[in-house]
Structure 1
Amino acid sequence: MTALPLSLVLIAALIHASWNLIAKKSGGDARFALFTCVVLAIVWAPVGIWFGWRDAGSYGALQWGLIVLSGAIHMAYYLILLRGYRVGDLSVVYPLARGSAPLLTALVATSFLGEALRLLGWLGITGIVLGILLIAGGPALLRSLRAGHGGDDATQRLRLGMQYGLLTGLFIAFYSVVDGYAVKHAGVSPILLDYLGNLCRMPFLLAVLYWLHLRNPLGLRDYVKQMWRPALIVGTVSPVSYVMVLYAATMAPLSQVAPAREVSMLFATLFGGHLLGERDKGRRLFGALCIAAGVIALTQS
């Protein structure tokens, strides 16, 4: 990979980790998810309209069905991610979410689709599992759980962070399969898939918010006043990293671009340790490094 695409991927990874840091600090919920979707739809409307005018007229039932399905899966992913950030640490949720998705994909492919991994791939899986264990607390956590002393607040927060991180990774794997099929086999423009998928998320989120409002009034006006700055940043910036990676993929092999993105896990772990004061930053950073190395090995196998 030459300097230009590598620079684009590294900057994209930093942007991705940065908007996740903002989402974590905001403590946002379903209202925040809808707010960022509205911002994205407005800010990126010129790009969406241009690509829609150019490509959308040729789409049939398959393409529109994939766009709607992608939007629904992305909505579930985003809501689970935000929930994970409210109950867990950034340096736990983010690496587990990013690292578990390729692990789950590889396990499904080898178990049910008849695919085989070389030694490098199994070493990659070992690195991901080791990294997950390190982020989860390493031997000390295992000893405390065996001894039955795993009920303190810190351990409960760690458990919830792991659960939501792994669940987020599952949905990342889901949308990766759907989006990959849409782009590679159904001829959907990646940028249009992202923009129209965002528009499809909005009715789903409105339905979720209406259901939540029936149970407990949400106070949307005050929430908008409180959250408009982080929502504006996340809604504006979050598509940028995706576009930069797509552009890098036109100049370098995807097999090199995709693994390089995982450096975002290291950025997120550093942010969690230094900017949010999350504990055990050294061990979690090493765990994130193991996951990133494992993902790179897995994608090269």
Structure 2
Amino acid sequence: MADVLVALSPAASGLSPGVVAITLVAAVLHAVWNAVAHGIPDRLVGFALIGVAYTVIGGVTACVVGLPPASAWPFVLGSALLHVVYTLLLWASYQLGEFSQVYPVARGTAPWVVAVIEVVLGHDLPVIELVGVVVISLGLVSLALDGGRPSRSALPALAAAVATGFFIAGYTVVDAAAVSTTPVLVYATWMFLIQGPVMPLIAVVRRGRRLRTQTVPVLLAGLAGGVVSIAAYGLVLIAQTSGATAAVAALRETSIVIGAVIGTVFLGERFGRGRVIAAVVVAAGIVLVNL
């Protein structure tokens, strides 16, 4: 437990400009790969191809970087397991609900949970940072609820999205503890390699021989989504070496604002006054986190 507390203790109350830049780039990439995953009509195939990219890139990189130290294996296995459940819940969320609603709920839930976990573990967040985390999360959730009170039919999707957010928070805390003692490249390599085969195996079991013909039309898009996902997460792990876990987690969630812009420009989705106000709230939270 002491090691976890040390890993979660920030070196400073704010984030350096370099960490902010890295995290924002990761946010853009995260929004892009999620848009790709949602944009593939057969989402099981889409997530399976992303898993193939994880497996191939992880396998090749593992041959170069070698095994992680023995002390890192609990973190690697724990994070991989949390990522598997997160992926299954995200897949379910996209099956049940609209991207513009479930993605913000999932991403907006995580900073709250991360902050609570840190407090429970004994880390006293600076008040201004805590306020920033809350403000960012409120802005993101307001984006999700922009269309008004959710209908009863939307509740299963929202429940899956909230559950997704809890697992995002879980692997965020595990990863923050791990990267303080393990090289980021080694850790990320094995985490992706272990979780990668799960969705492809599910797709093979569910689709059988049909999978090959269903995969061909979206092969490049799905594999590209996996590559972008790896890049996005690797940058987040680098940012987490700063120690400011809650601040990085909150700043990363600006990906939903970027996702809303992607939806407007490329998918023709609405970006009305309510979403503009919510985006401003998120921006205000970012300022508070970095004061």
TM-score computed with the length of structure 1 as normaliser: 0.74
Q: Which structure would you say has the larger Rg?
A: 1
Cα RMSD for the two superposed structures = 3.5
Quick one: structure 1 residues 105 and 44, their matched pair in 2 at CA, closer, same or farther if it must change by over 3 Å?
closer
- Pair 1:286–1:79, CA change in 2 (3 A): farther
Asked whether the equivalents of residues 266 and 289 of structure 1 are also in contact (C-alpha less than 8 Å), the reply is: no
Partner of 1:91: 100
Secondary structure of 1:278's aligned partner: coil
Give the secondary-structure state (helix, strand or coil) at the position aligned to 1:196.
helix
Give yes or no for the alignment of 1:236 onto 2:232. Answer: no
For residues 68 and 296 of structure 1, the distance between their equivalents in structure 2, rounded to whole angstroms, comes to: 35
| Residue among 79, 84, 91 paired with 1:70 | 79
Query: 2: CA distance between counterparts of 1:6 and 1:125?
Result: 14
Separation of aligned partners in 2, 1:71 and 1:291: 30
Q: What's the secondary structure of 2:267's corresponding residue? A: coil
**2:12 corresponds to which residue?**
none
Counterpart residue number, 1:284: 275
**TM-superposed deviation, 1:102:** 1.4
- The answer to whether the aligner puts 1:127 opposite 2:127 as a matched pair is no
CA contact 1:81–1:164 (8 Å) conserved in 2: yes
| Cα distance, 1:233 vs structure 2 | 0.7
1:35 corresponds to which of 49, 53, 63: 49
Deviation at 1:173, TM superposition (A): 0.6
CA contact (8 A) 1:100 1:128 kept: no
Alignment of 1:38-53 (within 5 A): 38-43=52-57, 45-52=59-66
TM-score, normalised relative to structure 2: 0.76
Q: Is 2:248 aligned against 1:275?
A: no
C-alpha separation between the residues in 1 aligned to 2:145 and 2:130?
Answer: 23
The separation in 2 between residues aligned to 1:193 and 1:223, in whole angstroms, is: 33
* Unaligned 5+ runs, structure 1: none
Residues 116-169 of structure 1: per-residue CA shift (max 9 Å, x gap): 45542453354245325522436x835xx7xxxx45xxxx34x45533332221
Determine if contact 1:272/1:278 at 8 Å carries over to the other structure. yes
The answer as to 2:177 corresponding to 1:181 is: yes
Residue number among 17, 34, 37 corresponding to 1:23 in the alignment: 37
Q: Distance in 1 between matches of 2:22 and 2:133?
A: 27
Contact 2:54 2:196 in 1 (8 A): no
Deviation at 1:224, TM superposition (A): 1.6
The question of 1:164 aligning with 2:171 is answered no
Distance 1:292 1:74 in 2: 28
**Contact (CA 8 Å) 1:131, 1:287: kept in 2 or not?**
yes
Residue equivalent to 1:198: 192
Match 1:59 to one of 40, 58, 69: 69
CA distance in 1, matches of 2:65, 2:200: 26
Shift of 1:249: 6.9
Q: How many residues align?
A: 276
1:254-291 superposed Cα distances (whole Å, 9 cap, x missing partner)? 57766543432221111123322334544234324434
